[in-house]
Amino acid sequence: MMKVTQRLLGPVTLLLLALTFWMGLWVTPPDKVQGNLVRLLYVHPPIAWVALYVSFGTATIASCLYLWRRTRSDAMDRIAHCAMEISVVFIVLTLVTGSIWGRPTWGVWWAWDARLTSTAILGVFALAYLALRRANDDPTVRARRSAVFAILTAINVPIIHFSVVWWKTLHQGASVLTSTGQLNVHGSMLWTMLIGFVGFTLLFFWLLRERYRLEVSRDARVRTRVDEALATRRSEGA
């Protein structure tokens, strides 16, 4: 069952993303206020969802599991590392699509808005996490320090989430639900948006699976080279 699910992950992801773009461009109607610009609603919020909650959240949870002795393993460290790399990509896409949306709406490509700034800061933290991993060659020390850093930087995620509530910002509020739990979008627009959320979430897990495989292969090659070097030294000593 697991193998079948893994084989279907890629095709299903591609299908849902294609369906999202098709419905977003040709099925859903333009907005009364934003016109065709509203079609970014089917791309930008799902990308931000993956960047802030799915990928960064996965990295944080895997880091917590690594620090907990009962679940500590190299696999948790690899998952945290791979998820953080993907998070960097989606954070950049979030800022880019947000800027494209903001230019005709706000009149500028960038504003020092609370949500935009805090999201950019999270991207810097994610890059710092990746840099930290290169700063130490000891796998155990590297994994432990990286895990602690990931957990500390995750504090920024709720700040991003509630920034539109805590401060007066240019960025609009929640895209799907209001503070009272009512829907902001309806009909085909809602279905297209939900399909986009599922599609981009599955895209993350597909990328995570493929990136994890590459990391396992890289570690295996490193171990092989180390074993070969040790064997060479032993033969020279003999």
Condensed to tens digits (0 to 9), the pLDDT of residues 97-128 reads: 989 888 887 778 878 888 888 999 999 999 99
Comparing CA positions, the residue from 44, 83, 69, 24 lying closest to residue 207 is 83
pLDDT at 121: 94
Size (the chain), residues: 238
pTM: 0.86
Name which residue leads in pLDDT, 6 or 115: 115
Bridge partners for 177 per DSSP: 183
What amino acid is encoded at 48 in this protein? Answer: A
Is a pLDDT exceeding 70 seen at residue 19?
yes
* C-beta of residue 51 within 8 angstroms of C-beta of residue 90: yes
Name which residue leads in pLDDT, 138 or 79: 79
State the pLDDT confidence band at 30, using cuts at 50, 70 and 90: confident
pLDDT at 83: 96
Condensed to tens digits (0 to 9), the pLDDT of residues 182-200 reads: 566 667 888 899 999 999 9
What are the tokens at 156? 């920024």
Q: What is the DSSP letter of 183?
A: B
Give the C-alpha separation, 33 to 73, whole Å. Answer: 52
Give the C-alpha separation, 73 to 65, whole Å. Answer: 8
Helix, strand, or coil (residue 130): helix
Condensed to tens digits (0 to 9), the pLDDT of residues 216-231 reads: 888 777 667 665 666 6
* C-beta of residue 83 within 8 angstroms of C-beta of residue 56: yes
What amino acid is encoded at 150 in this protein? Answer: A
Is a pLDDT exceeding 60 seen at residue 178?
no
Give the C-alpha separation, 25 to 120, whole Å. Answer: 28
Structure-derived torsion over alpha carbons of residues 3, 193, 41, 27, reported in degrees to the nearest 10: 110
Name which residue leads in pLDDT, 69 or 179: 69
Beta strands in 53-156 (DSSP E): none
Q: Which of 8-17, 67-76, 169-178 has the lowest mean pLDDT?
A: 169-178
Condensed to tens digits (0 to 9), the pLDDT of residues 203-218 reads: 999 999 999 999 888 8
